[in-house]
Every structure is written in C-alpha cells, then in structure tokens.
Amino acid sequence: MTKSTRRHFIRAAGAAGLAAPAVVAASSVRAQGTIQWRMQALWGGGTTPMLYEEKFCDRVRELTGGSLDITPFAGGQIVPSAQAFDAVRGGAFQLMKTFDGYTAGKIPAHGFSSTVPFGFPEADQYEAWFYERGGLDMAARSYAPAGLTYVAPTVYGEEPIHSKVEIRKIADMDGLKGRFVGLASAVMADFGVAVSPLPTSEVYSALDKGLIDFADRGDIKANYEEGLHEVAKYLILPGVHQPSTATCYVANTAAYGQLDDQQRAALAVAAREVSGALRQNIIVDNAEYLSKYEEAGVEVITLDADDVIESRKKAVESWAKATKGDELATEMMESQKQLMQEMRLL
C-alpha cells in the first residue's frame, strides 16, 4: 500500500464515521483465512489504557471481518517489558505497544517520537505533527533497520509531576532528585535536576523512601490508582517534562509483510480511533481525579504560563544536544520546531 493510499483510506474511513467494516470485511479477505497475532502492551491488566488496547484488537477484528485476530496481553505477561523490543524483533510475538522514550538512549530519534519536554502543549498539536508533517514516516524510518514496522501512535495529553516538596516555578526544580525517562532525562538534567531513570514500577517506593523528590510516572488517573497521592503531597501542572505523549504500535516487519492492504489499513484506522477515544477519556477523567487528589490532601500547583514559555526557549538547546548529531533525530527536531514556530509556540 502506498503512503497516499494509506492516508486516503484513513481519511475516507473517518469521513464516513469509520463505518468501514463492510469495506475491509470483503469475502476475498475472509477467504484467505484468519491470521493470528499476539500483542503485548505496556499496561497492567484491568487498567484503563489496557481496556483501550482490548478495544483496539476488537476493532481490528471487526474491520477485517475476523481475518486478523489480535490477542492482547498486559505488560510483562509474555516477556518483561524491557525485552519487548527484542522479542517482537525476533518474532516471539507480532505486535507491541511501546513508548519510544524507553529506547531513546540507543535510538536518539525516539526521544522526539515519544514526547518533547516543554514542546507541544496540546495533544492535537503533537498528533498533527505525526499525520500532517511526516512524523509517521520519520518514526517508521527509525524502526526499519531493526526489522520492525511503526504502525501508528496513540497520542494523549500531559503526564503530571508528583512531588514531595513544593515547586512553584521551574527554577525550584534545580538541585532536586527526579525520576524521568527518554528525552525528559536529558532536558530535566539541563535544568539542574539529578535524574534517576527508575522503572515505572519503582516510582511509588522511591518517593515513599525519599530516594527522589519528584517524579514522572503516568497520567493523572493512573497515578491516583497507583496511590501516588499517599507519598507525594504536591501535584504540578502542566507536566512540562511531558506536555503531550505518544505511545505506539510497532509490528514485526516480516509478520506485517504477510498482511494485505486492507488489513494494514485496518490497523491504522483502529489505532487512530483508539488514540482519539483514549485522549477524550483522559480529558474527562482528569477533572474527576484532580478533585480526588485534593480530597486526599494533595495541593495542585499550576505553573505560571510565562515561566513555561521562557523555559521552552532554554529547552530548545537541550533538544539539539539530545540528537547526539543523529541525522534522523535532527530531522525530527527541526520539523517539530518549524511547526511550533508556525503555531507561535517558539
């Protein structure tokens, strides 16, 4: 399927309210039999984002008339999450839901396809970069040498900062110990933070024991469900380290190559549907869960907008250093900067 054909399919499906099952469930597809895939996600079983991964698999099944059947597994259920990249590459399972920030240390471009600290403040702006400014193709190029195919992102908003100490301006972070990963590790270090890239599973205990002063972990609701309101009495917004977020579906290239055009298009359509649906769910839940934090005695602090804007100018220098001179990472960064300038963010 050509890039233009794929984009046309996605847009046509969207214009028709994604009432596409009759198109992709053609008898010619069904006659080829069912392709069985397994997908390991990032999330724990029963959590809100995991429920949306199940919706994704159901939607792909519906769009293909059952010809592509994906069984979802929770994070770590098949292999430890840190091993998912190599497991999909080696064919242990065909698809993973991942966060590129975890591999940004080895693949600098992944720092820019996961989240940009002090970057796009709105998820729609970041998603526009993927779909309107070539981000999808650049992300795909970052995975191709590893025998992996980037399918599509799931884009949602900020992840907050949870702190044991009071933070009222960006400068207050200087000298603190913080947990950050991906591009945020490099940027926050340049703002004077002693960064510790702890696994997500260790954030609660690290805050509880005072090993770190503040931390990134997940979205507002997920962090409440994890109990961070018990160990950090300040919640800082906006999450400048991760103002908008992209996780992504990545497939084994050999397995992806066995799909027909309609099955590939169904993956792309279902992924974009889930991106919007999860984002809207998070927007609604955020209001409810911010109230829950306050009821639990957590102070919600909103950073001054001018402070964030000024800090974005400084962050640009950190982005450049984080490319490590890599050609693709630099291309991603420059295209994002151009879009931010057009949006008057820079």
Cβ atoms of 123 and 281 closer than 8 Å? no
Residue 336's pLDDT band, with cuts at 50, 70 and 90, is very high
More confident residue, 33 or 298: 298
Q: Which pLDDT value is given to residue 26?
A: 32
Same-domain check for residues 171 and 304: yes
Q: How far is CA 255 from CA 32, 61, 68, 88, 94, in A?
A: 15, 17, 12, 10, 6
d(CA 248, CA 11): 19
Give the percent of the chain with pLDDT over 90.
82
Residue 195 backbone phi and psi in degrees, to 5: -85, 135
Residue 12's pLDDT band, with cuts at 50, 70 and 90, is very low
d(CA 273, CA 135): 18
Domain at 171, CATH number: 3.40.190.170
- Comparing CA positions, the residue from 21, 79, 69, 77 lying closest to residue 50 is 77
Angle subtended by helix axes 327-342 and 123-132, to nearest 10: 120
d(CA 334, CA 319): 10
For the segment 140-151, the average pLDDT, to the nearest whole number, is: 98
d(CA 161, CA 159): 7
Same-domain check for residues 119 and 251: yes
Residue 46's pLDDT band, with cuts at 50, 70 and 90, is confident
Same-domain check for residues 80 and 150: yes
Overall number of domains in the chain = 2
Q: Above 70 in pLDDT, residue 24? A: no
Domain range enclosing 24: 3-157+246-283
Same-domain check for residues 145 and 201: no
Residue 32's pLDDT band, with cuts at 50, 70 and 90, is low
Residue 263's pLDDT band, with cuts at 50, 70 and 90, is very high
d(CA 51, CA 57): 10
Cβ atoms of 188 and 195 closer than 8 Å? yes
Q: Which pLDDT value is given to residue 13?
A: 45
* Single pTM value for the model: 0.86
Same-domain check for residues 55 and 173: no
Cβ atoms of 73 and 57 closer than 8 Å? no
More confident residue, 329 or 101: 329
Cβ atoms of 293 and 228 closer than 8 Å? no
Angle subtended by helix axes 183-190 and 305-322, to nearest 10: 120
Q: Which helix (H) or strand (E) holds 299?
A: strand 299-302
For the segment 261-280, the average pLDDT, to the nearest whole number, is: 97
Same-domain check for residues 29 and 100: yes
Same-domain check for residues 324 and 219: yes
**Per-residue pLDDT reduced to its tens digit, 57-111:** 999 999 999 999 999 999 999 999 889 999 999 999 999 999 999 999 999 999 9
Same-domain check for residues 57 and 29: yes
Q: Which residue, of 234, 267, 283, is where some domain finishes?
A: 283
Residue 155's pLDDT band, with cuts at 50, 70 and 90, is very high
Residue 273's pLDDT band, with cuts at 50, 70 and 90, is very high
Q: How far is CA 223 from CA 48, 203, 226, in A?
A: 12, 10, 5
Q: Which pLDDT value is given to residue 20?
A: 37
Same-domain check for residues 152 and 271: yes
**Per-residue pLDDT reduced to its tens digit, 182-209:** 899 999 999 999 999 888 889 999 999 9
Q: Above 60 in pLDDT, residue 8? A: no
Same-domain check for residues 125 and 262: yes
Same-domain check for residues 147 and 194: no
More confident residue, 112 or 17: 112
Q: Above 60 in pLDDT, residue 294? A: yes
Going through 74-218 in order, the beta strands assigned E by DSSP cover 95-99, 148-156, 161-163, 177-179, 194-195, 214-215
Q: Side chain identity at 329, as an amino acid letter? A: A
Question: Please, what is the average pLDDT of the chain?
Answer: 90
Same-domain check for residues 120 and 39: yes
Q: Which pLDDT value is given to residue 131?
A: 98
Q: Which residue, of 232, 267, 283, is where some domain finishes?
A: 283
Q: How far is CA 331 from CA 5, 135, 142, in A?
A: 24, 10, 11
